[in-house]
């Protein structure tokens, strides 16, 4: 991987060729020099981008996943088509550069990869303000969560990170409950053994009287089929990817917090780009954000429709009263998070979500 700047025209003919007097040739020399300099600059510019600089995008997500095939790759193609030959983003999926989800930010900081997708929740010490997005009862879709989070970031309310260049961010669909037994209210969580991912979901289940169980997503279906779990907090896409819906018959659609992601670039890679290249990456960040809500939202709708059409699943949407009860039950958790993030950040997040729902 190279992060060197494109070759620059260093033609200094105006310093070397400065004829004085003699035979009235001043204008002739001036015209020749101007033509030579212009031609040299054109040649240098063409040579600079004869071979586009490869920008590696590393991810541990499998190359065959819909996120790679239908989301990431089309976006990189959109960017590459507009790069005018300066660079070309190439996706290295399936952990080619690192299979460890916890090492993605290190990959880009150390320059092993030019670009990565980071889960802030895996490094809470470095991204403390992002904890608000995992709180239950807030974002009810990837679209509204992504829009609110991106606005907060652009307003500087999520903090700055000197070691990475944040290109964009997005939110997954909220986690909901897939269970083998009916759950149709907040009260029904009590004594249920529920798979969780992370501290916020753990604290949420404890607040509802459930028994949180940290289990890898790839092991959830087997654990439920063996009777070791009653259900799992996952979103529609994860449930489909890891076949959780094949061992459960009930879905309680109540927003249990969303997982935020950052699309980040190595700072030296970004600095090495031309002004036009930087502007394109900035524009691409906006384009990425616009694509995520529809992508995750549509995928979630497709999974839900498939399950409802099967006749084997019951999907219950939580009422407003139940969502408010969820917020009441998890008040202590919310207060704890509020004490660790910027003052007023949770309120600002909620305000943006409300504006999104109101269509403003």
Q: Mark whether 241 and 184 lie in a shared domain.
A: yes
Q: Mark whether 105 and 147 lie in a shared domain.
A: yes
Q: Print pLDDT tens along the chain (360 aa).
A: 434 333 333 333 333 323 333 334 344 333 433 333 444 443 344 445 679 999 999 999 889 988 999 999 999 999 999 999 999 999 999 999 988 888 899 999 999 999 999 999 888 888 999 999 999 999 999 999 999 999 999 999 999 888 999 999 999 999 999 999 999 999 999 999 999 998 999 999 999 999 999 998 889 999 999 999 999 999 999 999 899 999 999 999 999 999 999 999 999 999 999 999 999 999 999 999 999 989 999 999 999 999 999 999 999 999 999 999 999 999 999 999 999 999 999 999 999 999 999 986
182, part of any domain = yes
CATH code assigned at 253: 3.40.190.170
114, part of any domain = yes
Q: Mark whether 276 and 317 lie in a shared domain.
A: no
184, part of any domain = yes
**Number of domains observed in the structure of the chain:** 2
10, part of any domain = no
Q: Mark whether 81 and 214 lie in a shared domain.
A: no
Q: Mark whether 152 and 57 lie in a shared domain.
A: yes
Q: In three state form, how does the secondary structure of the chain look?
A: CCCCCCCCCCCCHHHHCCCCCCCCCHHHHHHHHHHHHHHHHHHHHHHHCCCCEEEEEECCCCCCCHHHHHHHHHHHHHHHHCCCCCEEEEEECCCCCCCCHHHHHHHHHCCCCCEEEECHHHCCCCCHHHHHHHCCCCCCCHHHHHHHHHHHHHCCCCCCCCCEEEEEEEECCCCEEEECCCCCCHHHHCCCEEEECCHHHHHHHHHCCCEEEECCHHHHHHHHHCCCCCEEEECHHHHHHCCHHHCCCEEEECCCCCCEEEEEEEHHHHHHCCHHHHHHHHHHHHHHHHHHHHHHHHHHHHHHHHHHHHCCCEEEECCHHHHHHHHHHCHHHHHHHHCCCCCCHHHHHHHHHHHHHHCC
Q: Mark whether 231 and 290 lie in a shared domain.
A: no
Q: Mark whether 212 and 192 lie in a shared domain.
A: yes
Q: Mark whether 88 and 182 lie in a shared domain.
A: no
157, part of any domain = yes
23, part of any domain = no
9, part of any domain = no
129, part of any domain = no
User: pTM value?
Assistant: 0.82
Q: Mark whether 192 and 240 lie in a shared domain.
A: yes
Domain span at residue 329 reads 176-258+299-358
């Amino acid at each position: 991987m190279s992060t060197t700047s494109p070759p620059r025209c260093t033609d200094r003919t105006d310093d070397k060729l400065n004829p004085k007097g003699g035979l009235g040739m001043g204008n002739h020399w001036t015209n020749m020099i101007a033509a030579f300099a212009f031609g040299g600059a054109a040649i240098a510019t063409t040579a600079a981008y004869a071979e586009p600089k490869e920008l590696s995008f590393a991810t541990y997500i499998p190359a065959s996943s819909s996120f790679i095939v239908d989301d990431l790759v089309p976006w990189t193609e959109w960017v590459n088509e507009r790069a005018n030959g300066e660079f070309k983003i190439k996706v290295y999926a399936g952990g080619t550069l690192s299979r460890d989800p916890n090492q993605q930010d290190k990959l880009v900081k150390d320059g092993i990869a030019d670009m990565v997708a980071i889960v802030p929740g895996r490094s809470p010490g470095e991204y403390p303000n992002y904890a608000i997005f995992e709180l239950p009862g807030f974002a009810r879709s990837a679209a509204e969560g992504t829009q609110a989070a991106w606005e907060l970031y652009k307003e500087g309310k999520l903090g700055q990170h000197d070691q990475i260049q944040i290109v964009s961010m997005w939110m997954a669909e909220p986690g909901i409950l897939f269970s083998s037994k009916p759950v149709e209210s907040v009260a029904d969580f009590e004594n249920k053994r529920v798979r969780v991912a992370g501290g916020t979901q753990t604290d949420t289940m404890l607040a509802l009287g459930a028994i949180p169980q940290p289990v890898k997503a790839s092991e959830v279906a087997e654990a439920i089929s063996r009777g070791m779990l009653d259900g799992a907090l996952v979103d529609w896409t994860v449930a489909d990817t890891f076949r959780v819906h094949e061992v459960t018959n009930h879905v309680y659609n109540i927003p249990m917090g969303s997982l935020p992601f950052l699309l980040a670039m190595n700072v030296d890679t970004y600095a090495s780009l031309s002004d036009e290249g930087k502007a394109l990456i900035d524009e691409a960040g906006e384009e990425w954000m616009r694509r995520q809500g529809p992508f995750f939202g549509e995928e979630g709708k497709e999974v839900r429709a498939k399950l409802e059409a099967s006749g084997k699943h019951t999907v219950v949407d939580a009422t407003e009263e139940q969502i408010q009860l969820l917020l009441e039950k998890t008040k202590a958790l919310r207060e704890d998070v509020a004490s660790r993030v910027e003052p007023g950040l949770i309120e600002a997040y909620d305000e943006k979500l409300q504006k999104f729902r109101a269509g403003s």
